[in-house]
Amino acid sequence: MKIKTWPVLAALAQSLETQDARTLSPSVFDAIADRLEAALAAEDNAVLEQISARLEDAVRNWAAAASEDARKALRGDADAKPDLAHLLATGRLAFAQNLAARALDKRAADDFYEVIADRKYQPYICALMSGPKSGVELAGLVNETQETVSRKVQFLEEHDVVRRRKMGQLTVNLLTPGARQYAEAKRLTPAGGAGSVQPAVKTALVEQSGKIEGYLQAARLLGVPHEPAAAS
């Protein structure tokens, strides 16, 4: 696989022309970290070699446009200014940390496959294959108490099988991409419909309407005037 285009290099070149590193967005370095992480995981060394060569060219060009003091810091000269040397070391460490963090965020927990293959979690995986589910929905689908569901979902989240997401006032649970890929490869049977989050939304709306009615009753007791909404 060859790298035909790499837009991030265009951003580097543009900043080089202006000789102003402040024009570089942090997303540029995020993109470099992502590309490096993918290349390091690939079996083909050709992509990694191309990335290394292109980054080497970028470093050389940036160094050529830098001040002599900056070049001394890059070379590690003994007479380099301490503050520039410190900034250079900080930048290198920050990029290394960014690369490690982004790689870790995409990698499943060490015992991911052991957890996802555990039979006691199979009903949860099947239930979530058809779409996001609230804790109440999961409890009904797996026939367990909400306390048990909450505990198991938290465990699955800690092991990169499940993610939680806010949908308005409602918190729903969904499979991670790795878990979904595993479930589809094992041809697990989905449980529940894709729109099964709707009952939970309906329940939440009913609860909110009950609260609103309570507020209106309190307002009437306090003599606060209330005008009904105009019919549309």
pLDDT digits 0-9 by tens, 103-147 = 766 666 667 888 888 999 999 999 999 889 999 999 999 999 999
Q: How many CB atoms lie within 10 A of CB 66?
A: 17
- Give 17's strand partners: none
Q: What is the secondary structure of 77-95 as a DSSP string?
A: -TTS-HHHHHHHHHHHHHH
The residue behind tokens 């997401």 is 165
pTM score, whole prediction? 0.45
How many angstroms separate the CA atoms of 129 and 183, rounded?
8
Segment 68-101, tens digit of pLDDT: 998 898 889 999 999 999 988 998 888 888 888 7
The residue behind tokens 């292109």 is 54
| Helix axis angle, 45-65 to 7-18, nearest 10° | 10
> Out of 161-175, 178-192, 216-230, which region has the weakest mean confidence (pLDDT)?
216-230
Q: Both tokens of residue 9?
A: 């290099």
User: When comparing pLDDT for 33 and 142, which is higher?
Assistant: 142
Which CATH fold would you assign to the domain 113-201? Arc Repressor Mutant, subunit A (1.10.10)
Contact 70, 87 (CB under 8 A): no
Nearest in space to 107 (alpha carbons), one of 155, 177, 165: 177
Contact 9, 17 (CB under 8 A): no
- Give 166's strand partners: 171
CA-CA-CA-CA torsion sign (207, 210, 215, 216) = positive
pLDDT of residue 109: 63
Query: φ and ψ at 131, to 5 degrees?
Result: 140, 175
Stretch(es) of the chain classified as CATH 1.10.10.10 = 113-201
